Amino acid sequence: MLSDTNRFNAYRIMWVLVFFDLPTETKKERRAASQFRKKLIDDGFTMFQFSIYLRHCPSRENAKVHTKRVKSILPKYGKVCILEITDKQFGNMELFHGVKPIEVPQPVQQLELF
């Protein structure tokens, strides 16, 4: 039996990431891409970026279950990549949110009246 410290070990907890590039030129292709995204969400995945979804899994065994589910819903066309990483590896990710530079307004000269 696992102790509490091993149950939540950063090397035991997993993340499943799904990367995809699906065609969306025709109405049928857009529908297939939307259905794929919806099925990922229904299985507990969260959108990380438009074509990257991720899911937290408490164990390797659970990650395998969700990987198998993704494989069962693969669309007919396009590219899909499934990556399983540990919580420790996920924690080493560096995220950068770009901020559009804003021009700093020049202070307005104010007249003082005495």
* Binding residue numbers for Mg(2+): 21
Annotated binding site: 21
Q: What six digits make up the tokens of 62?
A: 């659970």
